């Protein structure tokens, strides 16, 4: 089993992936600055997997742009007779809207942060990384499923930062192709929560993604959902997206890591989506019927930059990683609502999390 550094491990995707990695038996050091998360998410992992987590999960409060801290983390674990075998790199900012108004903040955190991390990894001879990329980097507006070699043409600063990091990783790989093991995982629309209802998505800012907004409306914290356009050329006039259950996404990371650890140096990019598209009305209808709640909505003008459809061709991930998403839209809606019902204020409770020192 491997010792892993997980950046941004307290966040939505990070916490669910850490859970699966711990369940498999990996040791994890999380570094997170908690700008968009709470250390409580990691504390809850201890509740789910029990006391053994105390020995295999370390939580460091820090920023990936702090190279001294990162270097100390690599050195201290090396001195303890272990070395960090691989990095899973989630840390970053993810709001398309905010990236448009604050591009420098996004380039600094996402791109500069990744540069700092890669420099320290190289210095410490750690050359295996699973990177959180995004379907947002594709320029494809066609009707067909999006595959990995479609054109990369991001249309907002957030997507540009993800495409830039992929380019840096590509340059790095070609500088020492015998050393680096790199996977760019391009996520489509992760939603839902762990079935326990103990961890889930808890953004500190006001959410802009559809699923947290649906939960807010269903719980009465927001009056209605505004749907951007009902005149798209789709089966009901609303845009189509590829929603993927967060636990299927977490499993994709475990398999990508396994693949990299077991195979020679290489770089690859892989879509993580179900390959099935759902319209906005379909997700609302599914949410209402499976959870027996109402989600009022209204239609407003189309939003600039939105696409008619974005659905993954996931055949490459299925083939190379032996991965297969197994949970459907009803599971996503049920588990996501269960999390919301059990945690109406997210992780905002008074209990303190014990953080580790390097
Ligand atoms: N959720 C999505 O829809 C989606 C889709 C595609 C790609 N991604 C990418 O996946 C990754 C994880 O996404 P998420 O949904 O879990 O987001 P999230 O905001 O829940 O998690 C990101 C985590 O990184 C931490 N972080 C941010 N900047 C940091 C820094 N400089 N140093 C240390 N920690 C830092 C945050 O506190 C947070 O815990 C992000 O890189 C995001 O861009 C997300």
Q: Exposed, middle or buried: residue 326 (CB in 10 Å: 0-12, 13-18, 19+)? A: exposed
* Residue whose CA lies nearest to ligand 1 atom number 1: 190
How would residue 54 be classed by pLDDT, with cut points 50, 70 and 90? confident
Question: Is 8 touching ligand 1 by the criterion CB < 6 Å?
Answer: yes
Per the CB < 8 A criterion, the answer to whether 156 and 163 are in contact is: no
Question: Where residue 19 sits, what CATH number does that domain have?
Answer: 3.40.50.720
**Ligand 1 pocket, 212 CB below 6 A?**
no
pLDDT tens readout for residues 183-216: 999 999 999 999 999 999 997 777 778 999 999 9
Res 350 pLDDT > 50: no
Catalytic site residues? Answer: 158
Whether 188 is covered by a domain: the verdict is yes
Q: For residue 245, give the nearest of 208, 295, 186, 200 by alpha carbon.
A: 200
Residue 219 is assigned to a structural domain of this protein: yes
How far is Cα 224 from Cα 301, in angstroms, rounded to an integer?
15
Report the alpha-carbon distance of residue 88 to residue 91 in Å, rounded.
9
**β-strands 278-279, 240-241: how paired?**
antiparallel
The domain in which residue 166 lies consists of 3-342
Cα–Cα distance measured from residue 11 to residue 338, given in angstroms and rounded to the nearest whole number: 18
pLDDT score, position 349? 56
Strands (E), the chain: 3-7, 27-32, 57-61, 86-89, 128-134, 181-187, 189-191, 225-228, 240-241, 243-245, 266-272, 278-279, 297-300, 309-310
User: Could you report the per-residue pLDDT of 241-289, keeping only the tens digit for each?
Assistant: 999 999 999 999 999 999 999 999 999 999 999 999 999 999 999 999 9
> CB of 61 closer than 6 A to ligand 1?
no
Residue 139 lies inside a defined structural domain of this protein: yes
Is 329 contained in some domain? Answer: yes
Q: How far is the CA of 237 from the centre of ligand 1 (A)?
A: 31
Q: What is the dihedral of CA 273, 275, 276, 281, to 10 degrees?
A: 40
Ligand 1 near 256 CB (within 6 A): no
109 CA to centre of ligand 1 in angstroms? 10
Ligand 1 neighbour 65 (Cβ under 6 A) = yes
- SS3 assignment, position 112: helix
Task: Give distance in angstroms: CA of 1 to centre of ligand 1.
Answer: 25
Distance 190 CA to ligand 1 centre (A): 12
Q: Which residue has the higher pLDDT, 97 or 161?
A: 161
User: Among residues 160, 158, 154, which one has the least CA distance to residue 141?
Assistant: 154
In a domain? residue 214:
yes
Residue position matching structure tokens 């997997």:
49
Q: What is the pLDDT of residues 59-105, one digit of tens each?
A: 999 999 999 999 999 999 776 678 999 999 999 999 998 999 999 99
Spatial neighbors of 96 by CB under 8 A, at least 6 apart, are 136, 156, 158, 159, 208, 305
In a domain, 210, yes or no: yes
Asked if 182 contacts 267 with a C-beta cutoff of 8 angstroms, the reply is yes
Whether residue 355 is contained in a domain is answered as no
The total number of structural domains in the chain stands at 1
Q: Give the tokens for residue 358.
A: 């390097």
């Amino acid at each position: 089993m491997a010792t892993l550094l997980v950046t941004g491990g307290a966040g939505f995707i990070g916490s669910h992936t850490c859970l699966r990695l711990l369940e498999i038996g990996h040791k994890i050091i999380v570094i997170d600055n908690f700008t968009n998360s709470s250390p409580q998410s990691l504390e809850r992992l201890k509740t789910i997997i029990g006391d053994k987590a105390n020995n295999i999960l370390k939580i460091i409060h820090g920023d990936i742009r702090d190279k001294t801290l990162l270097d100390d983390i690599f050195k201290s674990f090396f001195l303890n007779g272990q070395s960090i075998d691989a990095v899973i790199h989630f840390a970053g900012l993810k709001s398309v809207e905010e990236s448009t108004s604050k591009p420098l903040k996004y380039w600094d955190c996402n791109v500069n942060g990744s540069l700092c991390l890669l420099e320290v990894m190289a210095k410490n001879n750690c050359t295996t990384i699973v990177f959180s990329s995004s379907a947002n980097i594709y320029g494809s507006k066609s009707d067909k499923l999006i595959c990995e070699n479609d054109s990369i043409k991001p249309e907002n600063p957030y997507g540009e930062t993800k495409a830039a990091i992929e380019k840096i990783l590509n340059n790095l790989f070609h500088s020492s192709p015998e050393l680096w093991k790199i996977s760019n995982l391009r996520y489509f629309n992760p939603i839902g929560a762990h079935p326990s209802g103990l961890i889930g998505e808890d953004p500190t800012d006001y959410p802009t993604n559809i699923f947290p907004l649906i939960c807010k409306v269903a719980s009465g914290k927001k009056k209605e959902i505004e749907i951007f356009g009902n005149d798209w050329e789709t089966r009901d006039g609303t845009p189509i997206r590829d929603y993927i259950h967060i636990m299927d996404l977490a499993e994709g990371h475990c398999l990508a890591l396994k693949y990299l650890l077991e195979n020679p140096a290489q770089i690859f990019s892989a879509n993580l989506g179900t390959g099935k598209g759902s319209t906005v009305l379909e997700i609302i209808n599914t949410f209402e019927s499976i959870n027996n709640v109402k989600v009022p909505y209204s239609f407003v003008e189309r939003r600039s930059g939105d696409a008619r459809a974005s659905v993954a061709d996931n055949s490459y991930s299925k083939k190379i990683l032996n991965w297969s998403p197994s949970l459907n839209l009803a599971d996503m809606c049920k588990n996501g609502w269960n999390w919301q019902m059990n945690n109406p204020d997210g992780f905002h409770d008074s209990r303190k999390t014990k953080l580790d020192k390097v």
